[in-house]
Amino acid sequence: MKLTLNNVEIFASTGGRDFNPSSGPVVLFVHGSGQSHLGFMLQHRFFANRGFQCITPDMPGHGLSKGEALTTVEAMADWYAQFMQALGIPKAILVGHSMGGLIELELASRCPDLITKAAFISTALAIPVNDALINLAATKESAAIAAMMDWGHGTAGHIHDHTMPGTSHMLYGSRLMAGNAPGTLHKDLVACNAYANGPTAAQSVTCPTLTVVCGQDRMTPRKTGLALQAALGGELVEIAQSGHMSITEHPFDVNKALRAFF
Amino acid sequence: MADYKFDTLSLHAGQSPDARFGSRAVPIHQTTSYVFDSTEHAAALFNMEVGGHIYSRLTNPTVAVLEQRLAALDGGVAAIATASGMSALFVTVLALCSAGDHIVSSSQMYGANINLFEHTLKRYGIETSFVPPNDPTAIAEAIRPNTKMVFGEVIGNPGMDIMDVPAVAKITQAAGIPLVIDATFNTPWMVKPIELGANVVIHSLTKWMGGHGIALGGAVIDGGNFDWGQNDKFPMLTTPHFGYQGAILWEEFGPAALSVRIRTEGMMNVGPCMSPQNAFYILQGLETLGLRMEKHMSNTVAMLEFLVGHEQIAWVKHPSLPDHPDHDTAMRLMPKGQGSIIACGIKGGRDAGRAFIESVQLASHLANVGDAKTLVIHPGSTTHSHLTSEAMASAGLTDDLIRISVGLEDQKDIIDDFKQALRTAGKLTSTQAKGSGA
């Protein structure tokens, strides 16, 4: 679906089903740096066909949405609150991946009444980004994307063994990220790096939580995921064989964990 | 863990060792269909909510390994293996064009491609303009408002004209239409058209990719680098898809929209699928693609050194030779090698060509290219024997033309075979000259 928010045309995937927030529990998927709704391709379709009202917006500058990327995690959290208001979503289950987890933390601390449950996938209390990658995103975005695809995937991704027959994780991911508005990745990485309110925000999260931690994650390593889970409490699921891009590398395991949590 | 390189991907891409039995080789899943865990699982597979297999016309685990390996090697987001290279081209056209649409195509390419565009597609209301592949200006001028794709080969078959893919890609990008490249003669070891700006790559896997001449196959590689939503030219990808619960593929699958359309229409409704046995054979060939291509190239260099200046050879055509009209383009696009097909003329015309072909002992006389074995054919006495010399000339062929597909044998053995065959052809020419009183 398309809508206009803050005078910007926004695209949101509904998992191939009509979206009606009053006809079932709403699941709002929050994508990460340089990503879009397509990263959750194997989640939002799955849950949209199981009685959930799924909605996965592309933030401004990402995917099929117009406009320029937001520059802070705090602004992104406010944007998601506005998005929910614009679509008449009173409450939602949130599922955030990577930087989406930081946005989710911030949103949960600012607007706890909007969230019924929160799932944090391959994320942390903070996601520091090294200067070299930030600079690369500014000067040679394609190289930054290639580096992130390399670091972001575990064994299955590097060997191009996708659950969707005939598809390559890393090459699909590269094209997905290259499809964003110019400069989007750099802004996301700067925002990610600057966000320092995670530990404080985590203390404000009162809803049930699930943290999914991956053994081959080199972007939000296992120990940082465990630290997030320790701060939040709640449920923990570990996927030993997955890299950071667990939502595409190990969708069966991620969906199984989410289904049990929902 | 690393970003694996070409030779590693040739061996490993697409396959995790079998979890149940630990099979290191790719298992041949010789099955038509797959048992569902439950009705919910079946519904999820049909709705593409989860990955997996339903029926081997659509996907098969062995074929999927090949597809993923091809996508990795060519730099595409996805690949679809087909029964042949021709069916790969057909399902691509099916996904992009409808009655009333138009294609701009290279005029110098494989005859079956020409026939498909000129005759078969025309019957279904799709017209094609043929233009020289090495003339980007002519390509640009041939594009119409209803043009839906530009098609050509990197190395043309049989004329070996070279398409300047980056130059043509700029034209198609400006026109908002995809550039579809048949890369059969180059393979991704020589050049990856997607990296040069092409959007879709077609292969006949029967040739160098398999390399053994034992299995037919084709593939479409979806580059995932074309914005299908930039205009209204591609409603098959930007409006609800009849075959997929009304989903808009560009929105649902983004960079993989084209490959999903091909799988859910071309493969589903036409059905030119690859058998798992053939996928296994082609995977065996791909494992050594890099090694084989290096040897193809070095043997081709040796063969060219032998042929150029030989007293029985009237002319030699190969993109690496400085007198080839597209030499500079070939060297720029394919610095590792410019292909293992050589065209040459035997002095003495059609009869001398026939005598040469009948005299080779190691080289095989047949209608294929890209085999591990050296292959030769004389169009004047085989594929085009029904044509007059004038008709041959208009097709860009000459009476004396011999096409050589240089194989992997020891260089000396191939060259010795050619030496003795040329001696035989030379004796015939000499006898003819004496008989005519010349």
Per-residue pLDDT of chain A in tens (262 residues, 90 and over written 9) = 999 999 999 999 999 899 999 999 999 999 999 999 999 999 999 999 999 999 999 999 999 999 999 999 999 999 999 999 999 999 999 999 999 999 999 999 999 999 999 999 999 999 999 999 999 999 999 999 999 999 999 988 999 999 999 999 999 999 999 999 999 999 999 999 999 999 999 999 999 999 999 999 999 999 999 999 999 999 999 999 999 999 999 999 999 999 999 9
For residue A231, the distance in angstroms to the closest alpha carbon of chain B comes to 30
Shortest Cα–Cα distance, A218 to chain B (Å) = 10
Is B26 in the same domain as B162? Answer: yes
B352 with B411, same domain: the answer is yes
* A156–B4 C-beta distance less than 8 A: no
- Residue A217: what pLDDT? 95
Q: What is the dihedral of CA B274, B275, B277, B281, to 10 degrees?
A: -10
Res B391: pLDDT: 63
Give, for A239, the enclosing helix (H) or strand (E): strand A235-239
Q: Are residues B103 and B223 in the same domain?
A: yes
Backbone angles phi, psi at B36, to 5 degrees: -80, 145
Total-model pTM:
0.95
B44–A contact, CB cutoff 8 A: yes
pLDDT band, very low/low/confident/very high, at B437 (cuts 50, 70, 90): very low
Mean of pLDDT values over B15-36: 93
The three-state secondary structure class of A4 is strand
Structure tokens at B371: 């085999």
End-to-end CA distance of chain A: 24
DSSP letter (8 states) at residue A248: H
Query: What per-residue confidence (pLDDT) applies to B112?
Result: 86
**B258, B285, B312 — which closes off a domain?**
B285
For range B17-32, the mean pLDDT? 92
Q: Which residues of A touch B223 (CB under 8 A)?
A: 175
Q: What is the pLDDT of residues B111-135, one digit of tens each?
A: 888 889 999 999 999 999 999 999 9
Within-domain flag for B353: yes
B102: domain CATH number? 3.40.640.10
Decide: B209 and B79 in contact? Cβ < 8 Å: no
Binning pLDDT at 50, 70 and 90, where does residue B438 land?
very low
For residue A159, give the nearest of B15, B48, B259 by CB distance. Answer: B15
- Do B78 and A64 lie within an 8 Å CB cutoff? no
| Per-chain mean pLDDT for chain B | 93
Q: Average pLDDT, stretch B217-227?
A: 98
Residue entry with tokens 């909007």:
A114
With beta carbons under 8 A apart, name residues in chain B contacting A150.
2-3
Same domain? For B181 and B319 the reply is no
Confirm if B107 and B132 have CB atoms less than 8 A apart.
yes
Nearest chain B residue (CA) to A35: B254
Indicate if B184 and B139 belong to the same structural domain. yes
CATH number at residue B315: 3.90.1150.10
Collapsed DSSP state (helix, strand, coil) of residue A238: strand
More confident residue, B22 or B292: B292
Count of domains forming chain B: 2
- Which residue in B81, B40, B78 sits closest to B62, CA to CA? B81
Dist CA B11 CA A256 (whole Å):
32
Same domain, B281 and B383: no
3-class DSSP string for chain B: CCCCCHHHHHHHCCCCCCCCCCCCCCCCCCCCECCCCCHHHHHHHHCCCCCCCCECCCCCHHHHHHHHHHHHHHCCCEEEEECCHHHHHHHHHHHHCCCCCEEEEECCCCHHHHHHHHHHHHHCCCEEEEECCCCHHHHHHHCCCCEEEEEEECECCCCCCECCHHHHHHHHHHHCCCEEEECCCCHHHHCCHHHHCCCEEEEECCCCCCCCCCCCCEEEEECCCCCCCCCCCCHHHHCCCCCCCCCCHHHHHHHHHHHHHHHHHHHHHHCCECCHHHHHHHHHHHCCHHHHHHHHHHHHHHHHHHHCCCCCEEEEECCCCCCCCCHHHHHHHCCCCCCCEEEEEECCHHHHHHHHHHHCCCCEECCCCCCCCCEEECHHHCCCCCCCHHHHHHCCCCCCEEEEECCCCCHHHHHHHHHHHHHHHHHHHHHHHHHCCC
Structure tokens at A146: 């290639």
Residue B296 is assigned to a structural domain of this protein: yes
d(CA A192, CA B33): 46
Residue B27 lies in a domain: yes
Q: Mean pLDDT throughout B388-417?
A: 85
Q: Do A171 and B12 touch (CB under 8 A)?
A: no
Edge-first strand listing for the sheet containing A115-121: A2-5, A8-13, A53-57, A26-30, A92-97, A115-121, A209-214, A235-239
User: In terms of Cα–Cα distance, which of B76, B65, B261 is closest to A175?
Assistant: B76
Helix (H/G/I), strand (E/B), else coil: A187: helix
Please state, as a whole number, how many other Cβ atoms lie within 10 Å of the Cβ of residue B320.
17
CB contact under 8 A, B78 and A11: no
Q: Which of B285, B315, B330 is the last residue of a domain?
A: B285
Asked whether residue B1 is domain-assigned, the answer is: no
**Helices A131-139/A184-194 angle, 10° precision:** 160
CA B221/CA B179 separation, integer angstroms: 12
Does residue A124 sit in helix, strand or coil?
coil
Are both B11 and B129 inside the same structural domain? yes
**pLDDT recorded at residue B109:** 82
Final residue of a domain: which of B238, B255, B285?
B285
Q: Are residues B370 and B240 in the same domain?
A: no
Instruction: With beta carbons less than 8 A apart as the criterion, state whether B14 and B62 touch.
Output: no
Q: Do B47 and A156 touch (CB under 8 A)?
A: no
The answer to whether residues B262 and B321 belong to one domain is no
pLDDT in tens, A106-144: 999 999 999 999 999 999 999 999 999 999 999 999 999
If asked whether residues B255 and B301 sit together in one domain, one would say no
Burial of B31 (0-12, 13-18, 19+ CB in 10 A): middle
- Which burial class, exposed, middle or buried, applies to B57 when counting CB atoms under 10 A from its CB (0-12, 13-18, 19+)? middle
Residue B169 shares a structural domain with residue B189? yes
Pairing verdict, β A53-57 and A8-13: antiparallel
Establish if B201 touches chain A: CB-CB under 8 angstroms.
no
Q: For residues B193 and B182, give the distance between their C-alpha atoms in angstroms, rounded to a whole number.
A: 9
- Matching residue, tokens 């190289």: A143
B55 assigned to some structural domain:
yes
Which domain covers residue B405, as residue numbers?
A: 290-435
Task: Give, for A26, the enclosing helix (H) or strand (E).
Answer: strand A26-30
User: Which strand ranges, in their side-by-side order, compose the sheet holding B401-405?
Assistant: B313-317, B341-346, B401-405, B375-377, B364-365
CA–CA distance from A216 to each of A242, B199, B222, B249, B334 (Å)? 5, 32, 28, 31, 37
Pick the closest to residue B412 from B293, B288, B298 (CA basis): B298
State whether B255 and A164 contact (CB < 8 Å): no
Q: Does A180 touch chain B (CB under 8 A)?
A: no
- Angle, helices A73-86/A99-110, rounded to nearest 10 degrees: 70
Cβ contact (<8 Å) for B78 and A63?
no
User: Is B374 part of the contact surface with chain A (CB cutoff 8 Å)?
Assistant: no
Nearest CA to B286 out of B3, B2, B8, B1 is that of B8
Phi-psi bin for B211: left (phi > 0), alpha (psi -120 to 50), beta?
Answer: left
First to last CA, chain B: 72
Going by pLDDT thresholds of 50, 70 and 90, the confidence category of residue B61 is very high
- B79 in A contact zone (CB under 8 Å): yes
B243 to chain A, any CB pair closer than 8 A? The answer is no
Q: Which residues of B touch A49 (CB under 8 A)?
A: 43-44, 47, 49
Q: Looking at the structure, do residues B268 and B145 belong to the same domain, yes or no?
A: yes
Least confidently predicted of A92-96, A97-101, B177-181, B367-371: B367-371
